[in-house]
A and B are shown apart, each in its own frame.
Chain A
Amino acid sequence: MLEKGRLSTRQFTVLIFLSCIGDMILIYPSAISSMSRQDAWISSLLGLLGGLLVLWLMLHVSQLHPDKTLVEAIQLIFGKWLGSIVNLWYLFYFFMLCSYLVREVGDFLTTQIFLNTPLKIIYLLFILLMVYALHAGLESIGRSSEILLPIFLLVAMIFIFCLLPQSKPENLKPFLENGAIPVLYGAYFASIYPFGELIVLLMVIPYVKREQKIKKDIIIVALGAGLLLSLIILVSLLVLGVDMTINNTYPTYFLAQKINIGNFLQRIESTMAVAWLISTFSKAVICYYAFTMGVAQLTGLSNQKILYFPAAIMLFGMADLAAPDVLYYLKHIVPYWMDWDLTNAVVIPCILWITWACRRKWKGKS
Chain B
Amino acid sequence: MTSKIFLTAISILLMFTLGGCWDRKELNELGIAVAIGVDTAPKNQFKVTAQVVVPSEVAAGQSSKGGTSVTVYEEVAPTMMEAIQKMTEISPRKVYLGHIRMFVIGEALARKGIASVVETLVREPTVRADFYVAVAKEGAASDILQVTTPLEPIPANKMYASLTVSSEAWAPTTKVTVDELMKTLMNSGCPVLPGIQAVENKSDSDKGNSKDNIASTIPVMDLKFNGLGVFKKDRLIGWLNENESKGYNYIQNQIKESMEHVDTDKGVRIGIRTFDSKTDVKGSVVRGNPVIRIHVKSRGAIEEIHGKSQALDSTQSLHWLEQQDNKHVTELMQMAVHSAQHTYKADIFGFGELIHESDPKAWKKLKPNWDQTFPEVKVYYLTQVKLRKVGMLLDTFQQKMKE
Residues facing B in A107-150 (CB within 8 A) are 111-118, 121, 124-125, 128, 131-132, 135
**Cross-chain contact A240 with B13 (CB below 8 angstroms):** no
Q: Which residues of B contact A125 (CB under 8 A)?
A: 17
Q: Which residues of B contact A128 (CB under 8 A)?
A: 10, 13-14, 17
Q: A121-B20, A240-B179, A244-B183 are in contact. Are A174 and B129 (CB under 8 A)?
A: no
How near does chain A come to B329, taking the closest CB pair, in angstroms?
23
How near does chain B come to A329, taking the closest CB pair, in angstroms?
18
Q: Which residues of B contact A258 (CB under 8 A)?
A: 129-130, 179
Q: How far is the CA of A305 from the CA of B2 in the complex (A)?
A: 10
Is A267 close to B, CB under 8 A? yes
Scoring B2, B3, B179, B186 by chain A CB atoms within 10 A of each residue's CB, the highest score goes to B179
Instruction: Mark each residue of chain A from 215 to 238: 1 if its CB lies under 8 Å from any CB of chain B, else 0.
Output: 000000000000000000000000
Q: How far is the CA of A1 from the CA of B125 in the complex (A)?
A: 49
Is B356 close to A, CB under 8 A? yes
How near does chain A come to B100, taking the closest CB pair, in angstroms?
12
Q: How far is the CA of A141 from the CA of B357 in the complex (A)?
A: 48
Q: How far is the CA of A304 from the CA of B34 in the complex (A)?
A: 55
Q: Which residues of A contact B14 (CB under 8 A)?
A: 128
Is B23 close to A, CB under 8 A? yes
How near does chain A come to B352, taking the closest CB pair, in angstroms?
13
Is B187 close to A, CB under 8 A? yes
Q: How far is the CA of A269 from the CA of B360 in the complex (A)?
A: 36
Q: Which residues of B contact A115 (CB under 8 A)?
A: 23, 125-126
Q: Which residues of B contact A241 (CB under 8 A)?
A: 183
**Cross-chain contact A173 with B357 (CB below 8 angstroms):** yes
Q: A174-B360, A257-B129 are in contact. Are A118 and B22 (CB under 8 A)?
A: yes
**Cross-chain contact A135 with B130 (CB below 8 angstroms):** no
Q: How far is the CA of A19 from the CA of B23 in the complex (A)?
A: 30
Q: Which residues of B contact A117 (CB under 8 A)?
A: 22-23
Is B223 close to A, CB under 8 A? no
Instruction: Mark each residue of chain B from 356 to 376: 1 if its CB lies under 8 Å from any CB of chain A, else 0.
Output: 111110000000000000000
Q: Which residues of A contact B20 (CB under 8 A)?
A: 121
**Cross-chain contact A114 with B23 (CB below 8 angstroms):** yes
Q: How far is the CA of A81 from the CA of B360 in the complex (A)?
A: 57
Q: How far is the CA of A161 from the CA of B386 in the complex (A)?
A: 34
Instruction: Mark each residue of chain B from 237 to 254: 1 if its CB lies under 8 Å from any CB of chain A, else 0.
Output: 000000000000000000
Q: Which residues of B contact A113 (CB under 8 A)?
A: 23
Q: How far is the CA of A148 from the CA of B205 in the complex (A)?
A: 70
How near does chain B come to A218, taking the closest CB pair, in angstroms?
33
**Cross-chain contact A121 with B22 (CB below 8 angstroms):** yes
Nearest-neighbor residue (CB-CB) of B126 within chain A = A115
Select which of A111, A132, A306 is within 8 A of B125 by beta carbon.
A111
Q: Which residues of A contact B125 (CB under 8 A)?
A: 111-112, 115
Q: A115-B125, A254-B129 are in contact. Are A131 and B10 (CB under 8 A)?
A: yes
Residues facing B in A258-283 (CB within 8 A) are 258, 260, 266-267, 269
Q: How far is the CA of A241 from the CA of B128 in the complex (A)?
A: 17
Nearest-neighbor residue (CB-CB) of B350 within chain A = A170
How near does chain A come to B33, taking the closest CB pair, in angstroms?
16
Is B182 close to A, CB under 8 A? yes
Q: A111-B125, A124-B17, A240-B179 are in contact. Are A116 and B3 (CB under 8 A)?
A: no
Residues facing B in A32-59 (CB within 8 A) are none
**Cross-chain contact A170 with B357 (CB below 8 angstroms):** yes
Q: Which residues of A contact B2 (CB under 8 A)?
A: 305-306
Is A247 close to B, CB under 8 A? yes
Select which of B3, B126, B186, B358 is within 8 A of A174 by beta carbon.
B358
Q: A174-B356, A260-B130 are in contact. Are A121 and B23 (CB under 8 A)?
A: no
Instruction: Mark each residue of chain B from 176 to 211: 1 if its CB lies under 8 Å from any CB of chain A, else 0.
Output: 000100110011000000000000000000000000
Is A67 close to B, CB under 8 A? no
- Ordered by A's residue number, 6 sampled pairs between the chains whose C-beta atoms are within 8 Å are A112-B125, A115-B126, A170-B357, A247-B186, A254-B129, A260-B130
Given contacts A116-B23, A243-B186, A257-B129, 12 further A-B contacts (CB under 8 A): A112-B125, A115-B23, A116-B22, A135-B3, A170-B357, A173-B357, A174-B358, A243-B183, A244-B186, A257-B128, A258-B179, A267-B128
A interface, CB within 8 angstroms of B: 111-118, 121, 124-125, 128, 131-132, 135, 170, 173-174, 177, 240-241, 243-244, 247, 254, 257-258, 260, 266-267, 269, 305-306, 309
Closest 4 CB pairs of A and B: A173-B357, A117-B22, A243-B186, A174-B360
